[in-house]
Amino acid sequence: MKIDNFLQMNDWEINKFLKVIFSIQISVFGLVLLDGLGIHIPILREFISIIYLLFVPGVLILRIMKMHKLGSVETILYSVGLSIASIMFIGFIINLVYPLLKISDPLSIMPLIITMAIFVVVLSFFSYLRDKDFSKPTFVDIKDLLSPIVLFLLLFPFLAIFGTSLMNWYKINIVLMILIILICLTLLLFAYGKIPKKFYPFTIFIMAISLLFHTSLISNYLTGYDIQNEYYLANMVIANAVWNYKINSIVNAMLSITLLAPVISIITKINLNWIFKIIYPIIFSLVPLGLYKIFKKQTNSEIAFLSCFLFISLYVFYTQMISLARQEIAEFFLVLLILLMVNTKMNNTKRSFLFILFGVSLVISHYALSYIYSISLIVVYMLVLLSDRYDIHRSIDFIFRNKNTIYKTSFEGNTNYKIISSTFIFFFITFTIAWYMYVSNAAPLTAILNIGNHIASSISTDFLNSDSSQGLFVLQNQLQSPLHRLSKYIYLIVQFFIVVGFFALLFKRNRMNFDRNYLLFVLVNLIILVAGVTVPFFASSLNVERLYQITLIFLSPLCIIGGFFILKSIFGFFKFSLKNNYDIHLKLISIFLMVFLLFNIGLMYNVFNDDSNSIALNTTYDTANFNQEEFYGAEWLNNFGNTSTSNGVSISDDYRRPLLRSFGIEPNTFSRIYGNNSTLSDLKINIKKQYSSRYNFVYFFFGSKNVKDNNTIVLSSEGVNVNGEKYKNLIDLFNNENQIYDNGGSRLYYDKLN
């Protein structure tokens, strides 16, 4: 039995297509009306509204553009990308225009739902006019949906949800450990050919969303650092029903935070906290899905699958990225731009339109990624111009002396690069500068100028200085635990594979289909990776782990190619001749990646009772992970403290500080006041010196671990690097008469400065 493929609705007969669209829209209107009458049907409004917002506008635009037969993966990628872009642009327009029409709350439920309905109706009208004659639907076989491998994979997200619930309530991690083992087993099933190729994309998506959920759902509150400020700004938009674009904050200029999250939250009635913990990870899980399509176009299905597994295995993917909501959205748009770049079958006009739309969406989603992409565009375009010069051609022919080099097979006669034109680069950079100049008081532009100035002024004095280079510090850092040292060597092997893979592509006969633009972006990202180690203050401006994760968007296939090349060389050197060398290499690389995941995710440390930085497996790990008592304590300080005025200042340790930021409180830390060489007796003296001239009183906030263990984290640093952490019994310095709040899991003290 076969059913219509819902993911490829743009290929359906137009009348049937529009009936489904209007049914979804009417359902959303009806559920909103019922909620207004006090009748709430659990989950239904949330589920249907998410489909309405994240899929319907995009698939309508695809029909207007007459984009068909894209396949399920590309259809869902483009539909979600177009829908997200539509939400941000609509939110921006009504926030700007409606106040002029005397609508003071443009970002409230009624203006939003009416505007979205009109937008969908207009898109439906034009899709009917332009695409009413097309009808070539695709179907899904029920047998495929009920196949053992699909049912096995569908178990993963449920294990992630159930496992995190056990961790949150009972501190039991056994279910999450089983989930990780099953993901590793899935990689072995792939290596032994037990997963059909048609299920590769679905397998990658399921593994990605399960890994993301296994950390994002830990705690009922947001975990991490940057996301607390993102939450505060997005929540302020919801509370005021309007976005104030004049707030002096680099995050405030990012519509991926200040408009996308609030609009979704308001229409779906999903708490903003869960928008960031569930919806954003779902969107981000589409990134490895898009990378699979990109990598497959450059290599083959097996290398693409392993490359995506490497990408999702990196601990940054499921730890730091869940606390960087704006970068989650921006990376999704970056992947869409790359997918467009390597798509040789798309009409140039359609591709140019999407390039501009997704490029603008990238700019308004994340400033750092926009800057990196801008620089990459300029360098790639210059390299393209150089490579097309006749004298450069002659030089390359002389160097390689091989008409079958990757340069010849991939570069000659390839006109696909023309999409990266001087016009697009000029538009992208101009829009980037204009947006960051006129929104949020030019805070994003000022930030990058300060970073550039800092790098330029120190590059001659601090080159290869570990105090100013995070990347070099990480390489030189001597880890005490044997397991952690082994993990570091595994990372170095990955880097080695990437370098070998690049030169293997460059000098060996090409059996791949690497696009010239993609290969040049690979070269640029290799340079970025090297700069993260050598250039002072470059990696630290973004964070070296995040920089590495971004470069893997381009470099992941090189690691797999390099691994194949090394294994082939080893087998050749020892004259191992097996019938299925390729299959053996595939299995060995899969085992290596399985070990890579086990170390990254912290399971190896957990099994051998070593220190693990996994909030999902290690119940004692201390980081920016919060519970109900801490939330209530921060809420009390926000409601009854005077830190919002010029009279008071709040102080916490580094791991509790982010929670206060989610309420708009900007606390100072004990680490900054205490100093690397201070003693306990110096603390109150330092507080008096630093704050008595500006403030009248100070609040001290302590979280659950502080109260339970009677200590506070104090970080020591050298340059841009944190090189140690110590717990100090700072709570003992405060008297009971100074205590103003205590709920058992958080505590507040008050002290006068004057």
**Whole-angstrom Cα distance, residue 77 to residue 255?**
20
Closest listed residue to residue 180, CA positions, set 320, 312, 286: 312
Q: What is the pLDDT of residues 405-428, one digit of tens each?
A: 444 444 444 444 456 788 899 999
Would the pLDDT of 740 be above 90? Answer: yes
Q: Over range 320-331, report the average pLDDT.
A: 97
Strand partners, 722: 717
Closest listed residue to residue 204, CA positions, set 333, 267, 268, 292: 292
DSSP annotation string for 154-171: HHHHHHHHHHHHHHHHH-
**Whole-angstrom Cα distance, residue 416 to residue 427?**
19
For the ranges 6-20, 40-54, 206-220, 663-677, the lowest mean pLDDT is seen at: 663-677
Closest listed residue to residue 236, CA positions, set 636, 638, 687: 638
Query: Are residues 204 and 183 in contact, defined by beta-carbon separation less than 8 angstroms?
Result: no
**Whole-angstrom Cα distance, residue 608 to residue 595?**
14
Closest listed residue to residue 678, CA positions, set 712, 629, 644, 648: 712
Phi and psi torsions of 674, nearest 5°: -70, -45
Instruction: Report the percentage of the chain scoring pLDDT > 90.
Output: 67
3-class DSSP state of 679: coil
**Whole-angstrom Cα distance, residue 20 to residue 48?**
12
Query: Are residues 290 and 245 in contact, defined by beta-carbon separation less than 8 angstroms?
Result: no
Instruction: Report the percentage of the chain scoring pLDDT > 70.
Output: 88
DSSP strands (E only) in 98-175? 139-141
Q: What is the pLDDT of residues 501-516, one digit of tens each?
A: 999 888 765 557 887 8
Q: Over range 215-238, report the average pLDDT.
A: 96
pLDDT score for 403:
46
pLDDT score for 416:
43
Q: What is the pLDDT of residues 52-95, one digit of tens each?
A: 999 999 999 999 999 999 999 999 999 999 999 999 999 999 99
Report residue 614 CA to chain centroid gap.
Answer: 18
Would the pLDDT of 545 be above 50? Answer: yes
Q: What is the pLDDT of residues 450-468, one digit of tens each?
A: 777 766 766 666 666 666 6
Residue 263 burial (CB count, 10 A): 25
Residue given tokens 């000098």 in the structure block: 507
Strand pairing report for 2-4 and 139-141: antiparallel
DSSP annotation string for 340-405: HHH-SSS-HHHHHHHHHHHHHHHHTT-HHHHHHHHHHHHHHHHHHHHHTSHHHHHHHHHHH--TTS
**Whole-angstrom Cα distance, residue 589 to residue 83?**
38
**Whole-angstrom Cα distance, residue 360 to residue 276?**
22
Confidence of residue 472 (pLDDT cuts 50, 70, 90): low
**Both structure tokens of 198:** 């048609």
pLDDT score for 506:
80
> Which residues have C-beta within 8 Å of that of residue 491, sequence separation ≥ 6?
none
96 Rama sector, left if φ>0, alpha if ψ -120 to 50, beta otherwise: alpha
3-class DSSP state of 680: coil
Q: What is the pLDDT of residues 645-684, one digit of tens each?
A: 567 889 999 999 999 999 999 898 888 887 655 666 677 7
**Both structure tokens of 89:** 């642009």
Most confident of 32-41, 304-313, 636-645: 304-313
For the ranges 80-94, 229-243, 289-303, 728-742, the lowest mean pLDDT is seen at: 728-742
Confidence of residue 404 (pLDDT cuts 50, 70, 90): very low
Would the pLDDT of 231 be above 60? Answer: yes
pLDDT score for 572:
77
DSSP-assigned letter for residue 416: G
Strand pairing report for 697-702 and 747-752: antiparallel
**Whole-angstrom Cα distance, residue 437 to residue 420?**
25
**Whole-angstrom Cα distance, residue 484 to residue 746?**
33
What's the number of CA atoms in the CB half-sphere (13 Å) around residue 682? 11
**Whole-angstrom Cα distance, residue 323 to residue 172?**
23
637 Rama sector, left if φ>0, alpha if ψ -120 to 50, beta otherwise: alpha
Residue given tokens 């659990």 in the structure block: 42
State the burial class of residue 465 (Cβ atoms within 10 Å of its Cβ: 0-12, 13-18, 19+).
middle
Q: What is the pLDDT of residues 352-382, one digit of tens each?
A: 999 999 999 999 999 999 999 999 999 999 8
pLDDT score for 385:
82
